[in-house]
Structure 1
Amino acid sequence: MTGVRRQPIRHELPWSYRAVIGAVRPVLMGITRRDWSGGEHLPPQGGFIVASNHYSEADPVMLAHYLVDHGHAPFFLAKSSLFDVPVLGTALRSLEQVPVYRTTSRAGDALVAAREALAAGRCIGIMPEGTLTGDPELWPMRAKPGVGRLALTSRAPLVPVAQWGAQHVLGHYARRPGNLLKRPVQQVSAGAPVDLDDLYDRAEEPSAHVEATRRVMVAITAQLAALRGQTPPEEPFDPGRRPEATP
């Protein structure tokens, strides 16, 4: 299994974020093994967006581990409700993570904050599905178009990242960790930034946001298929589709 020698963080971080890295990274190194690839696709400088699949409550931590060791500490877009949870909300604010206010008049605030972070050279992490996948085999499901909107309106590189293995640390919707004595392997692979050149002139069109999002999810799914050595479904699981009635 392969890892990388940790690289220095390439942008300024709040002291609390550096403290969390110092406390959490040694734990992750002790309870998991790494099989990482594609680090050469992460832009060496300037802000960029990382979009990843989401199938375990632990996978944001694993993605952050991968990015931090490549010199990029991610700032995640997180559900605003998490900022109301005692202790967790205080931690998220201290770490300068970005709240997402869904279906409210403040829904656009997250994009404004994210664009400002990108302009400042930060790495923005997004799980475009918005919640844990509903696919029974844990393949990526149909995503929300926010990542496409952010990518087109900011013109920041959009890097697809696939990961697999976090479910062995914390299962799908599980609240207790798995058998960490086995030191499960965490596979993370970054791909080349998604080509969106033909969509930038339509940056304010919802249909362009959907198409940009579709492209990054196709890339993530293809990378995940390579990690798993399996064939994904022809169409992604659609959480909004009603199940067919049984005759």
Structure 2
Amino acid sequence: MTVRKLQQKRGWAWNIAVPLLKPLLLGVASRTWIDGEKLPATGGCIVVFNHLSHVDPLLSAHFVYDHGRLPRYLAKSGLFKNKALGGFLSAAGQIPVERLTRSAVGAYDAAVAAVNAGECVVVYPEGTLTRDPHLWPMTGKSGAARIALATGCPVIPVGQWGPQDLLPPYGRPDFLPRKHVTMKAGDPVDLSDLLALEHTHAVVQQATDRIMAALTGLVEEIRGEQAPAERFDARAAGVSLIGNPNKKPKKERP
């Protein structure tokens, strides 16, 4: 496992978070980091992960940080409503996203600006925890592809497996026995032939499909299994895109 030293200044939020969270993460989960040196040491880039658990942002931040970069996340806007937490996240460079609304375009602009400024932006292209019954990557949303096509930056896929054992989707934490998390970075997704084209819906979809295919391939390697031939489509399956899809709606009072 190659660990790369951080070269940029952390800032006060990271100076607080790293000494607090890193020992905690090491205490609850062992880890295998594979090919993390494929993350660019400098310069704007997008790192995409498959999404298994609500603990993913902490574990993926650990992976990115261990390879010399400070991650900037597209995080759901609800996390910023608490003044203290919102101030902390903003100081750490995180970007609020109002999912499934037109306001999400502001997050896109902020992400493009961050990449152009040389930052490392982390995106979960599925947009939420996977709804696939067996936790394979499902169909992706266009955000990562659109940012990549707008900036020409490298897109580094990272497949992961194990966070769901530590904190199951919409379940309770399970810290004992200590869990194991594996993350494997892949080569940059080749979008070079799409950059000069008009960024139509079809072109963006093609870029999105390539990103999800790269992620799925990495997860297959880690799991030692083959993913379904077709990725799970939550919309087609009539599954809620946000919130707990297993939670029954409350009955209205008469």
Please name the residue that 1:227 is paired with: 222
Please name the residue that 1:206 is paired with: 201
> Can you list the C-alpha shifts for 1:138-159, whole angstroms capped at 9, x where unaligned?
0011111111101100111000
Matched, 1:196 2:191: yes
Of residues 179, 183, 191, the one that matches 2:178 is 183
CA contact (8 A) 2:41 2:69 kept: no
Of residues 165, 168, 173, the one that matches 1:171 is 168
Of residues 77, 80, 84, the one that matches 1:80 is 77
Of residues 47, 58, 62, the one that matches 2:59 is 62
Count of residues paired in the alignment: 238
CA contact (8 A) 2:52 2:169 kept: yes
SS in 2 for 1:65: helix
* Rounded Cα–Cα distance in structure 2 between residues aligned with 1:70 and 1:117: 19
* Rounded Cα–Cα distance in structure 2 between residues aligned with 1:238 and 1:52: 18
SS in 2 for 1:181: coil
> Can you list the C-alpha shifts for 1:126-147, whole angstroms capped at 9, x where unaligned?
0011111100100011111111
Matched, 1:215 2:213: no
SS in 1 for 2:236: coil
TM normalised by structure 1 equals: 0.91
Change (3 A) 1:172 1:103: closer
* Rounded Cα–Cα distance in structure 1 between residues aligned with 2:61 and 2:81: 22
Q: CA deviation at 1:242?
A: 3.8
4+ aligned runs moved over 2 Å, structure 1: 10-14, 85-91, 101-107
* Rounded Cα–Cα distance in structure 1 between residues aligned with 2:217 and 2:198: 25
> Can you list the C-alpha shifts for 1:188-244, whole angstroms capped at 9, x where unaligned?
00000000011001253222111111101101101101100111110000011046x
Q: CA deviation at 1:13?
A: 2.9
**AA partner of residue 143 (structure 1):** G
SS in 1 for 2:212: helix
Matched, 1:9 2:6: yes
- Which 5+ residue runs of structure 2 have no aligned equivalent? 239-254
Q: CA deviation at 1:75?
A: 0.5
- Which 5+ residue runs of structure 1 have no aligned equivalent? none
Of residues 14, 20, 25, the one that matches 2:22 is 25
Matched, 1:144 2:134: no
Please name the residue that 1:155 is paired with: 152
Q: CA deviation at 1:87?
A: 4.2
CA contact (8 A) 1:153 1:203 kept: no
**AA partner of residue 219 (structure 2):** L
Please name the residue that 1:125 is paired with: 122
Change (3 A) 1:205 1:12: farther
